Structure 1
Amino acid sequence: MRKEVLGQCPVCNSSLYVAKLKCSNCHTTIEGEFQLCKFSRLSKENKDFVDVFIKNRGNIKEIERELGISYPTVRSKLEAVIEALGHKPSPVATEGRKEVLEKLSRGEITADEAVKLLKE
Structure 2
Amino acid sequence: MSVRRRLTTATGAVLLTLAVAGCSGLDRSAVGTLEYETERELLVKVTSPSVNGCHRMAPSGVTRVENNTLVDIMLYPTRDCRGPSTYLATNTGDSIPPDTLPWRSYSVVH
Structure number, greater radius of gyration: 2
**Bigger share in helix:** 1
TM-score normalised over the length of structure 1: 0.23
TM-score normalised over the length of structure 2: 0.24
Greater relative contact order (Cα 8 A, min sep 6): structure 1 or 2?
A: 2
